[in-house]
Amino acid sequence: MADAYDSLSASQKEKMLLFFKAVGREAASSSRARRATETCQTNPITATALEDSLFMIQYDNAQEFEACLGDEVLKANLALLMEQPLPNDYLSAVKRKLDKL
């Protein structure tokens, strides 16, 4: 592996380093954000809330959305939730919760 790295041009090495720094920062910031919102800071998501197509605007980010989406509400209302126009990061949050369940 070191030989492959040594064979790269200087610009390719620079691009790799920039990429790995960016990925490292993103991973670190997402874990901090997740720790900060492990508990729901706004309104917990309910079956009634899921009937409103604009319910997700109450949540500042996918981590907050994930914290406010309870396991039982998710299991009982998955079809209703999937009818919502959720952004990809919110869908990823739903997938993480389903994987956990």
Q: Give the residue ranges of DSSP H helices in 1-101.
A: 2-6, 10-36, 47-50, 62-68, 71-76, 78-82, 88-100
Question: Which band of pLDDT confidence, cut at 50, 70 and 90, is reported for residue 89?
Answer: very high
- Average pLDDT score, the chain: 80
pLDDT digits (tens, 9 = 90+) for 36-66: 447 898 889 999 999 888 888 889 899 999 9
Question: Please, is 91 exposed, middle or buried when counting C-beta atoms within 10 Å of its C-beta (0-12, 13-18, 19+)?
Answer: middle
Question: Which band of pLDDT confidence, cut at 50, 70 and 90, is reported for residue 32?
Answer: very low
CATH topology assigned to domain 39-101 = 1.20.970
pLDDT over 70 percentage in the chain: 67
